[in-house]
């Protein structure tokens, strides 16, 4: 089974991190791999990528004619790929050496249409003591209670997800109106892909916890204001996703219900038994981030012509 790994990037100042991501894929234990690098309209980064990786026989490098966004770039990568399976990893992540091998084993053993794996946090600074594990999804990592090994889900996170290439392209690839593009940040771009695959094939993404990727978390991702703003955008995006994929509307509602009825009580019990300042901070952060998700959702409800943000 030939696997094409797509890595998309744009910013010049993150080139070294991107290069580490590429090297982690080139050093996989699985041999039949093609690496597709999609540079999103940054000619300087394109030139450096060609200089560093252009001589690699298994690497293809493409530069978009302009900054088109992550969703366009991932679809473009899948179109350029030749593998039976196309795997996605972020430019600020590193795959464990057996990542692709583990994904392939799952495809062969289950006849899956899509397989994802664990996204583990790799803090580049000390983890903030206020950060609750239940909100790792804010920074693109698996949160507490995300899923069980080999569970079939709508989608895993974007730094560790793969599809049979024909399946991904048959449902139209990634929705170009989702993901970060300029000052727009409509999140949950994997959700739309997963929902369309489920509609078309009646199948989901197999979550193999043995397929591991480490997502680098830099200082700004531990900033409280940034996380609160991100929470607001998550709520806003959720309202848009409810319009686009109404069958998935209950997913985050179930998560929030579980958060408030299971995880919060567990934290309160732990706090009473062993009081610690960090536990108090995490509980406060948990409530603040949850509230910001709610504010974003309500704001989206009240906003006229909400879908204009999605369709522009």
177-197 pLDDT tens trace:
776 655 556 666 798 899 999
pLDDT for the residue numbered 254? 74
pLDDT for the residue numbered 253? 64
User: Has residue 220 got a pLDDT over 80?
Assistant: yes
pLDDT for the residue numbered 5? 98
What are the C-alpha distances in Å from 206 to residues 111, 147, 209, 272? 10, 10, 10, 38
pLDDT for the residue numbered 305? 74
pLDDT for the residue numbered 189? 79
pLDDT for the residue numbered 242? 79
Average pLDDT on 104-131 reads 97
Helical H segments across the chain, by residue range: 15-26, 43-53, 70-80, 99-110, 165-170, 189-201, 224-244, 250-258, 264-273, 277-302, 308-311
pLDDT for the residue numbered 281? 97
Residues 6+ apart with CB under 8 A from 165: 4, 78, 81, 83, 84, 85, 86
In percent, the amount of the chain with pLDDT more than 70 equals 92
pLDDT for the residue numbered 213? 98
User: Has residue 303 got a pLDDT over 70?
Assistant: yes
pLDDT for the residue numbered 311? 58
pLDDT for the residue numbered 308? 66
- Low-confidence winner among 7-16, 22-31, 105-114, 189-198 (lowest mean pLDDT): 189-198
pLDDT for the residue numbered 198? 94
Average pLDDT value over all residues in the chain: 92
pLDDT band at 62, cuts 50/70/90?
very high
Residue the block writes with tokens 């290439």: 165
User: Has residue 87 got a pLDDT over 60?
Assistant: yes
Tens digits of per-residue pLDDT, 139-152?
999 999 899 999 99
pLDDT band at 252, cuts 50/70/90?
low
Contact between 149 and 207 (Cβ < 8 Å):
yes
């Amino acid at each position: 089974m030939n696997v094409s790994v797509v890595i998309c990037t744009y910013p010049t100042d993150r080139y070294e991190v991107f290069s580490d991501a590429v090297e982690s894929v080139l050093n996989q234990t699985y041999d039949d791999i093609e690496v597709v690098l999609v540079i999103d309209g940054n000619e300087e980064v394109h030139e450096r990528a060609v200089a560093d990786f252009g001589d690699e026989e298994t690497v293809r490098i493409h530069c978009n004619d302009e900054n088109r966004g992550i969703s366009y770039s991932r679809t473009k990568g899948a179109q350029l790929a030749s593998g039976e399976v196309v795997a996605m990893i972020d430019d600020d992540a590193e795959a464990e050496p057996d990542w692709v091998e583990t994904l392939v084993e799952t495809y062969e053993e289950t006849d899956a249409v899509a397989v994802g794996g664990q996204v583990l946090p790799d803090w580049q600074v000390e983890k903030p003591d206020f950060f609750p594990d239940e909100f790792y999804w804010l920074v693109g990592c698996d949160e507490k209670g995300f899923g069980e090994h080999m569970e079939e889900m709508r989608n895993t996170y974007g730094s560790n997800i793969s599809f049979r290439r024909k399946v991904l392209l048959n449902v139209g690839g990634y929705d170009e109106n989702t993901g970060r593009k300029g000052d727009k940040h409509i999140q949950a771009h994997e959700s739309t892909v997963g929902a369309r695959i489920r509609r078309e094939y009646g199948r989901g993404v197999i979550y193999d916890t043995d397929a591991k990727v480490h997502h680098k978390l830099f200082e700004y991702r531990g900033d409280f204001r940034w996380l609160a703003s991100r929470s607001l955008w998550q709520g806003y995006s959720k309202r848009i996703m409810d319009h686009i994929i109404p069958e998935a509307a209950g997913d985050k509602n179930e998560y929030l219900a579980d958060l408030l009825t299971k995880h919060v009580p567990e934290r309160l019990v732990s706090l009473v038994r062993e009081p610690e300042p960090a536990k108090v901070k995490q509980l406060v952060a948990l409530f603040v981030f949850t509230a910001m998700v709610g504010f974003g959702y309500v704001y989206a409800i009240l906003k006229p012509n909400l879908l204009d943000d999605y369709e522009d």
